[in-house]
Structure 1
Amino acid sequence: MTAPAPTPARRPDASMTLLTEMLERPLDPGYAAASARRAAAGGPRSTPVGSTLVAVTAILLGLLFAVSATTVRRGEASAGTVRKDLISQIESRRAVVDERSAAIRDRQTEITRLESNALGATENGLRQELQALAAATGNVAVEGPGLLVTLNDKPTDDATPTAGDDQGKVLSRDLFIVVNSLWQSGAEAIAINGQRLTVRSPIRFAGEAILVNFRPLSPPYVISAIGDPAALPAAFAETVGGAYLKSLTDNFGIVTSVDGADHISLPGATRVTVDKAVVQGGTK
């Protein structure tokens, strides 16, 4: 029985036929044959017209690349200018908002003083009730002992993290869960990075920022909660929020901490509206 003929070995560059052709035969076969005939007849391998066309083509290509590069650079410069203008406008608007927020707090302080004077010394019980309601609604600044709960994004050595990679970032729902657990634990007043929370305070995620009271915040996020220092820490540890913080650290590398504080000062909310009012002992 005759053994089968061995299969010829395949060239290592068999999959690069086009590239090999370009490297081994850079000239078109017809052009090469014509050049050889001119050389055999004693003429030049290239004609002046051909050389001129090659030179003109090279110049035109150079101009085209130069124009393209200039256009790209102008586009990048224009984008940078627009970005700087937007940043300037944002900072300007934020300064205006901060100024008006401070003015609102001053008015609230004045209103509280006038209310206290109007009640009179003989209505001390009613004044205390008013103060308690104002603190509960977030209408006035408050201070006292409590808890500081801090959440920060996962540390990274990469200065430019992958877009869309939010596994190690603090999200709005994380703050929402912790805040609800603090209310459940008996917190009397809460703020996030100085933004006082009320029953109408939104906590949202927009793009790369977390918004609280429609103000963008940046990490670390410090949740300040005023409450009974003897009961609040233990009560919070037993809620969903306490276990949730540990899960964020163990599963996503988010840095969290819970610390007691002897003195916490929270500002009054700047977005408090009155839907209805009732005169004590009277009608609406």
Structure 2
Amino acid sequence: MRKNWRYGVPVVCIAAGFLLASAHASSQGGELRELHTSRLSDLVSDVESTVRDVEQQRDALTAQLREAQSEAASDQGVAQALDRLEPLAGPGALTEVAGPGLVVTLTDAPRDQYGNYPPGASPDDLVVHQQDLQSVLNALWAGGATAIAVQDERITTWSAPRCIGNTLLLHGRAYSPPYVITAIGDAEELEDSLDSEPGVRLFRQYAARYGLGYEVEAEDELQVAAYEGRPSLRYARPVH
């Protein structure tokens, strides 16, 4: 037994030293968790900056396209093509939509004046997650919504809301809570659909327990702006 200890202890010490050295090299002397958070924050900032630059280029190209379309509108073939495209703008989310509907607001739970969490809560219990937002969106679509916006950004079939911590990434931009979802449609049907969605019911249970914000307001007149980007279709084919 003593002989085993005599050989085992040095082996354990050498392995522990190797692991510590590897961690130090990976973190470059910094704390690993803080380094990861810092890199993630820098990545989000870089993406936002790139998106702003691309949007400026897009706006300039859109202005050139409209000018070219205006000049070419006198051509009969071009005019007919534009006439065929016009009815597709609505289903493609490229036009503004107005009407009655609901405004749903999701908010992280606040800490107390001393910065403490509610009893029995973990940090994950106190923030709005991607699945919470997705459950609300799914319920609104199922309830017959004709147009939906999150943080005034039009949601389309190409939209992919993503949450990193308590930050929402949508169309290349980062947003912080509260998250405001605007839906055009029959308010009663939309609210009934929210009430029957399992993911929404679960979020409401957490809201009641830990103080997360969940508000639903019916409005007689709402507006959802047109999608400002351009669809990128990989598998579409021309209709002959």
Task: Work out the CA distance in 2 between the residues paired with 1:97 and 1:222.
Answer: 25
Residues 64-88 of structure 1: CA deviation (Å, up to 9, x unaligned) = xxxxxxxxxxx9xxx9xx99xx69x
Displacement, 1:194? Answer: 1.9
Displacement, 1:264? Answer: 1.9
Q: Which runs of 5+ in 1 are unaligned?
A: 1-74
Distance 1:277 1:245, change over 3 A: same
1:1-284 aligned at under 5 Å gives the runs 90=46, 93=50, 95-97=52-54, 99-100=56-57, 118-119=79-80, 131=87, 133-157=88-112, 165-229=123-187, 231-240=189-198, 242-261=200-219, 262-274=221-233, 275-279=235-239, 283=240
**1:210/1:217 contact within 8 Å kept:** yes
Query: Secondary structure of the equivalent of 2:91?
Result: helix
Query: Secondary structure of the equivalent of 1:231?
Result: helix
TM-score (norm 1): 0.52
Residues 249-274 of structure 1: CA deviation (Å, up to 9, x unaligned) = 12332111011121223231415123
Number of positions where the alignment pairs a residue of Structure 1 with one of Structure 2: 189
Query: Runs (4+) of structure 1 moved beyond 4 Å?
Result: 89-95, 100-114, 158-162
Residues 187-239 of structure 1: CA deviation (Å, up to 9, x unaligned) = 11112112222223212222442212332111100011112345333343333
Supply the RMSD in Å over aligned alpha carbons. Answer: 4.0
Identity over aligned residues, as a percent?
A: 30
Find the structure with the greater CA-based Rg: 1
Displacement, 1:170? Answer: 0.8
**1:136/1:189 contact within 8 Å kept:** no
In structure 1, give the amino acid aligned to 2:231. Answer: V
Task: Work out the CA distance in 2 between the residues paired with 1:216 and 1:107.
Answer: 29
**1:145/1:226 contact within 8 Å kept:** yes
Q: Which runs of 5+ in 2 are unaligned?
A: 1-29
Distance 1:93 1:149, change over 3 A: same
Query: Secondary structure of the equivalent of 1:166?
Result: helix
Task: Work out the CA distance in 1 between the residues paired with 2:141 and 2:171.
Answer: 18
TM-score (norm 2): 0.60
Distance 1:173 1:217, change over 3 A: same
Greater relative contact order structure (CA < 8 Å, 6+ sep): 2
**2:127/2:166 contact within 8 Å kept:** no
**1:108/1:140 contact within 8 Å kept:** no
Task: Work out the CA distance in 2 between the residues paired with 1:195 and 1:105.
Answer: 19
Distance 1:258 1:101, change over 3 A: farther
Displacement, 1:185? Answer: 0.8
Displacement, 1:101? Answer: 6.0
1:63 corresponding residue in structure 2 = none
